[in-house]
Amino acid sequence: MWVEFGFAAILDNPAAYRLMLSVQMPHKDVLSYKTPASAYDEKHFSYQDGFVYSGINTSGLYTLGKISEDPSSHHIPCLKKELGLQTQRSTYYYKGSDNPPCSALDISYNPSFESSHPWLNALPYSFSGDTALIGIQPVSSSTDAIPEMFHIETSSSMNLQALVNFSTLSGYPKFVRYKRMKSLEHNSFVLENNILRISPAFAGVILDAAQLNHQNQYRDIRIYANMLFDDYDLELYLQADSTAPTGTMRVSQKASFDDPYQVFQDQYQLSMLSPVYDFRMLDNEQFFDSCQPYVRLKQNQRTDNLLFSVSNDDYYRIYSYPEADEADAWSFSHSEGHFAFYLPYKAQFGIVRDNQPHDSSSVTISKVSDIHLSLYQAQAVFPAEYIGNELPMGAD
C-alpha cells in the first residue's frame, strides 16, 4: 500500500535533486533514492507549485537534496548481514552471514588490467585488452571472498555475450565464465535495456570474454595445487597441499569415444549428451599418482543419463560410472545440470543416454583380433591368440 506524501520545498533546479531513503536496522542497511519526473511513481518524485510529492511504502529517513558521486568507483561498506545501496551508475545488494568476510568492497569501473597469469597467456587463453569491465577489491581481508549473494546492477551500452570473473589470489587462482541469459541462473548474467546484472563469485576483475582469444581445438590449462577453473561447459577444481605436483593439462573435445574394437558400435545404443572430453597431462605423467582433480561437465539435456569413460593407454578400458550422492573416483554425482566426478587418470569422459539398457552382453567371434566385451562396469578381454583355438570362429 502506498501513502501520498507531500511537503513544501524551494528547489532552484529540481532535476538536480534526489529524494533519498535511508533504512538502518540491526541486520540491514538500505540506501536508495528517487529522481524527479512529471508524476511520482515507484522510482520518481514530482515537484509542483512549491511542493514535493512522493508515494511511500517504507518507513525510514527521507532526505531531499543534491548529491555528488564518483562515476568510476564506489566504496561499498559490508558491516551488516544485508545491504542494499543505489547509486547513479549502479545498484549493489548482498544478503549473507552476520559476519561478512570483508569490511568493505572497493568497486572500480574500466580499471587498467594487465595479467601475466598463464590462464590469460595462452594456457589456455590470451587476453587482448588493457582494461577490465569491473574491478572488485575487498577491504581488510587477505582473501578474495565477498559477501554471499552479492549482486551488481550497472549500466552498460556494450553488447556483451560472455563474461569472466577472474582472481589471481596468490596460491588459489580462480576463473569463472558467465553466459548471457534471460534470467540469473548458474554461471549467467542478464543484460536488458542497457542494464547489466551479475552475481560475481569472488573478488578480482570481471572481463569481457570476447577479449579472450583461443586458437586451438584443445585447451592447455595450467594446473595448480589449489585452483578453480570454470569454463562454463567444463569445471576443474583442485585442493591439495603446496607440495602437490603441477603441470599443464590438455583437454580436447570430440564427437564420440575412441572405439577401435567397435564396442560402442556393437554392444551399446547410446546418444551423446555432451562432447567427449579427453584429459591428459602434457608434462607430468606422475600427476595422477598424487592428485585427482574434481571435474564437472555440463549436460545438454536434464534427464537421467550415464557417465562413460574410455582409457586407451596400455590397455583399452571402458567404464560406466554409477550415480551416487557424492562423487568419488568410481561414481558421479548430479546437480545443477552437471555431472561431477574425480579424474583418476588420463582418459576420455562423456555424458550419454542409454537407449537400450541391458543386463547381459555377447559378441560373435568373426575375425582374428582382440575382443572386448563390455557390460557397464564389467569388461572382459579375449586376446587374438586364443581365437581359432580355444575360441572357435562363429562362437558367441
User: pTM for the complete prediction?
Assistant: 0.90
pLDDT band at 160 (very low <50, low <70, confident <90, very high): very high
Biggest CA pair distance of the chain: 107
Locate 54 and state its grid cell: 512522493
- Percentage of the chain beyond pLDDT 70 is 95
C-alpha 54/C-alpha 17 separation (Å) is 13
Contact 314, 347 (CB under 8 A): no
C-alpha 262/C-alpha 81 separation (Å) is 58
* CA atoms lying within 13 Å on the CB side of residue 65: 6
CATH class of domain segment(s) 1-68: mainly beta
- Percentage of the chain beyond pLDDT 90 is 71
Alpha carbon of 211 to those of 120, 160, 247, 342: distances in Å?
Answer: 10, 11, 25, 31
Write out pLDDT tens, residues 6-56: 899 989 899 999 999 999 999 999 999 999 999 999 899 999 999 999 988
- Nearest CA among 252, 197, 204 for reference residue 228: 204
Residue that wins the pLDDT comparison between 216 and 174: 174
Q: How many Å separate Cα 329 from the centre of its chain?
A: 23
Per-domain boundaries in the chain: 1-68, 247-354
C-alpha 244/C-alpha 223 separation (Å) is 10
Amino acid at 392: P
Based on its alpha-carbon atoms, the radius of gyration of the chain, rounded to whole angstroms, reads 28
Write out pLDDT tens, residues 191-243: 999 999 999 999 999 999 999 999 888 999 999 999 999 999 999 999 987 77
At residue 146, the pLDDT reads 97
C-alpha 54/C-alpha 68 separation (Å) is 22
C-alpha 230/C-alpha 163 separation (Å) is 12
Locate 194 and state its grid cell: 542497457
